[in-house]
Amino acid sequence: MSRLSDGGSAVTSTRDGPRDECGVFGLYAPGHDASRLSFFALYALQHRGQESAGIAAADRGGHIITRRELGLVNQVFTENDLHTLAGELAIGHVRYSTTGSNAWENSQPVQRSAGTNGSHRELALAHNGNLINAVELHREMLEAGVTFSSTSDSEIIAALIATHPSADVEDAIAEVLPRLKGAFSVVVMTKDRVVAFRDPHGLRPLALGALEPGDDGEVRYCVASESCAFDIIGASFIRDVEPGEVVTLDECGLTSRQVMPGERRAFCIFEYIYFARPDSRMNDQVLQVARGRMGEILWREAPVDADLVIAVPDSGNAAARGLARAAGLPQDDGFVKNRYVARTFIQPGQELRKHGLRLKFNPLPEVVGGKRLVVVDDSIVRGNTTRQIVQMLRDAGAAEVHMRISAPPIKHPCHYGIDMSTREEMIAHDRTVQEIAEELGCTSLHYLSLEGVYEAVRGSRENHCDACFSGSYPLEGTGQARGKYALEESTGPVLPLVQA
C-alpha cells in the first residue's frame, strides 16, 4: 500500500475513509483447477484492494508461474492466463489502490529464488500487513548483499525466507517469523506446498477453509484473508489461523505448528467496522450482524427527533438498518450510488470536478426533501466526503442532517497496514465533536463510543487493536516505527516503501 494520493482513478479519490488494505489467498488442490479457484476467491476479496491483482501457480515439482498486473481482478486475468497458470497449487493477492511508476513492481505475489544449502529454493509470497522493523531488516539484507526489485516490505519477507539456510521451507519460516515485527498475514508457495502464517498478535485476519472433496475423495485446504472467499468457491470455513501459527497445505493434508505462542492478541477492530465484507466471519462474528448492532447502540447513545434514516451507501448500510430498527423510524435510500464508478480510470476534468461526489452518489430530493434525517456512515477520516454529503442533502431540501458514525473519532495513524492519512489531516485529531459538526455543516453529530464498538462485536479491548481511536498501540516499538517512506530515507533514492 502506498501513501501516494489517488490520482489515477477519478472515483476512488472521492472516498475519504481509511484506505483498504490487501487480500491474500492460497490453496493446495490436486484434482482442482487451482488458478481458476484463486481467481474467483480474489474476486470475492476485491474490496480489500483494487490497484493490482496477481496469481502464482505451480504443478507439484514444476516451476512457479506468476501473473500480476495493475487493475481489478477481472481486468487482469483472461481465460488464456488461467490456462497458462495451470497447476494444482496457487496463491493470489489483491492490493490497495495507488498510482505511480512503481505500482507494478509493488504488486504481488512476489517471486524470489535463491540457492540455499546446496539446493535451489524458489517461492512466491503474498502478504497483508506492514512490518514496523522493515528498515532495519532491509538495511541488514542490503549489507549482506541481497538485492531487491521493489521497496515493499513483502519482498523483504520473501527474501528472508528464500535465503534462509534451512533446507526445509517450513523450518525457514519458523526461524524467520520471530524476526518480523508488525502486522503480517502471509501465504507462501513453493513448487509443492503452500505455507501460511500470521503474526503473533493476529493483527490482520487469516482464515482456514476446506474444499469439497475431489474425485479422489481427499479433502484439500485453502487459506484466505476473509471467509467470503471460501463461499464463492464452495469451500467451508474451518477456523481462523491462530496468531503465531504456521499451517502447511501439502500432500499430507493440513499440518500446523504453533511457532510463537502467548503474545497479547491485537486483532484490528476496524476489520469489523469497515474493512471486511459484511458476509465474512471473524472471531465467530458475522460482520453484517455485528454492524447492525453498532447501529442499534448508536441510537441508544444518541437518539434524536427525526423522520427518516438513510445510509451513506454501501458503507453505512448495515448500521443504518440496525439504527432504524432500534429507533422505530422508517429507512429509505437517500442516495443512488453508481456501482460502476470504481471501474473508470478516466479523469473527470475541471468541468466535472466541481460536481465532486455526484460521480458516485446522487441524492434523491423526493426522498430527503423537507425531512429531518439521521444519516449513518461507518467512519470519518479527513471529513471531505462527509462535508460534501451533508451539503448535497441540504441542497436536496433536507430540513436537518443528524450524522451518526458507527466508529469512534479517528485521531491516530495506523502503523499496521492501513493508510489513514497523516494525523494532521484527520478532522478529529484536534477538534471536539461539536467543532467537527460545525466544520461538516451538520445539525448534530455522534460517534459510536469505543465501549459501544466492543459491545457490538462481543469482544474485549485486551484482544484487539484500537490504536487509531485510542492512540494505544499494542506492539512495543510502534512509536519508533518510521513512516512508509522510511526505506527511501535509509537507502537513498529508492521507491517509497509500500505496504500490503
Active site members: 22
Only one residue has cell 443512488, namely 336
Cell of 282: 471473524
Q: How far is the CB of 17 from ligand SF4 (least distance, A)?
A: 11
d(CA 266, CA 280): 19
Q: How far is the CB of 429 from ligand SF4 (least distance, A)?
A: 14
Q: Helix crossing, 134-143 with 153-162: angle to 10°?
A: 50
Nearer to ligand SF4 by Cβ, of 208 and 468: the residue is 468
Nearer to ligand SF4 by Cβ, of 310 and 418: the residue is 418
Q: How far is the CB of 418 from ligand SF4 (least distance, A)?
A: 4
Residues 6+ apart with CB under 8 A from 383: 16, 427, 436, 439, 440
Nearer to ligand SF4 by Cβ, of 43 and 184: the residue is 184
99-105-110-114 Cα dihedral, nearest 10 degrees = -160
* Kind plus residue range of the DSSP H or E element containing 176: helix 169-176
d(CA 378, CA 403): 10
Are 253 and 222 contacting, i.e. CB atoms less than 8 angstroms apart?
A: no
Nearer to ligand SF4 by Cβ, of 358 and 423: the residue is 423
Are 165 and 117 contacting, i.e. CB atoms less than 8 angstroms apart?
A: yes
Q: How far is the CB of 36 from ligand SF4 (least distance, A)?
A: 32
In the complex, the residues that contact ligand SF4 under the rule CB under 6 A are: 203, 268-270, 414, 416, 418, 465-468
d(CA 34, CA 228): 17
Q: Nearest Cα to 321, choosing from 313, 15, 279, 338?
A: 313
Nearer to ligand SF4 by Cβ, of 137 and 269: the residue is 269
**Pairing assessment for the beta strands 245-250 and 194-198 based on DSSP bridges:** antiparallel
Nearer to ligand SF4 by Cβ, of 14 and 130: the residue is 130
The per-residue DSSP string of 240-288 comes to EPPTTEEEEEETTEEEEEE-S--PPP-EETHIIIIIS-TT-EETTEEHH
Q: How far is the CB of 239 from ligand SF4 (least distance, A)?
A: 21
Residue 209: strand, helix, or coil: strand
Q: How far is the CB of 478 from ligand SF4 (least distance, A)?
A: 9
End-to-end alpha-carbon separation of the chain, Å?
A: 5
